[in-house]
Structure 1
Amino acid sequence: MGWRLHRRNYDPEFYFRGPARFVPDQPETGVLYLAPDEVNATFAFIGGLKVIRSSDLERYILSELRFPTPLRLIDLTSRDIPRMGFPLRELVESEDYTLGQDFATVALESGFDGIAFPAGPGRLFAVFGEVGSTRYAKVARDTLIPDEILKKLGVEVLPDPESGSRRVGVS
């Protein structure tokens, strides 16, 4: 279903509650951001960074999560999906998250499990769930960030003298 880049010492399935774009206005509901592939998951974390230390990179891992049943997502990347009167540009680009949170609340109350939305070079998924870490999804696999993804995103990995890492000069 989706990929998440996260700290190694944390559970990959964590439903966040706080100031974020698609967090529904329901105190017990949080959001888990996922990507359809490793490239988009890495981009969501790294963003526009062009340089990262190998020791920082080694603290993270990519996890592929699978859910036991298909999720019902409102797909904001599709031209065919009604947006219930919400303007797309403001939903995904505004620095004020209020509109996105209102949209997430309507989506949740309408029976959707989350929202697929355009982000960076592709799209991301905001999946709704009970706040905190749960065991609803299954980790299909964990992997380090592949060097070819870092290269594709134009990220250079700097050596860290203390770590002895060999993941250097990927870009």
Structure 2
Amino acid sequence: MGRLHTELSRLYLSPAAEDGSAVDESRLFTTNGLTRSLVLGLTRPADWDAMSRVWQGVQADLELPAPAIAVCGAEGYQLWFSLAQPVTVAQAQDFLELLRLRYLSAVAPRRITLWPAQSAHTRLVPALQADTGQWSAFVSSDLAAVFADDPSLDLPPGEDNQADLLSRLKSIQPGELQAAL
């Protein structure tokens, strides 16, 4: 198991995925349908100013650990929140909807994706975007604005760099999530 797999497992995948098996979207849920991964997305036009309000706000206002920042092509920017303990889809949706209302209320709802959701699908990052041939990737906060015109990469991101970015992140603890709610 490589470093990137280890970091994705530590932050986002169900405990069953820590056995060295393949990393794919099915691993975002436990066998009883709980998840540790919450994704708030803002589709094109890519707007880091709006998304940075969420990224900064959850840390400053809610005192939560920083979420990972991803660029995902046509899907724009995503913030990936990691939970220490899995929650139900309903609890995840409640948290994300509250973030949307607090920080993105001026953004048209059709541009915002909240995952997990019954009607939405998310792809793990980094990944090749089959529809564009571009790559999604995790990026640092100081580079996020650089991707405003094209929130994707032409080449696959380096696994070690992706692992390094994720290694600095922490999961939201149950008490922190309850306080934020």
Instruction: Specify which structure has the bigger relative contact order, considering alpha-carbon pairs within 8 angstroms and separated by 6 or more residues.
Output: 1
Structure with bigger strand share is 1
TM-score range, shorter chain: under 0.3
TM-score of the superposition, structure 1-length normalised? 0.27
Structure with bigger helix share is 2
TM-score of the superposition, structure 2-length normalised? 0.26
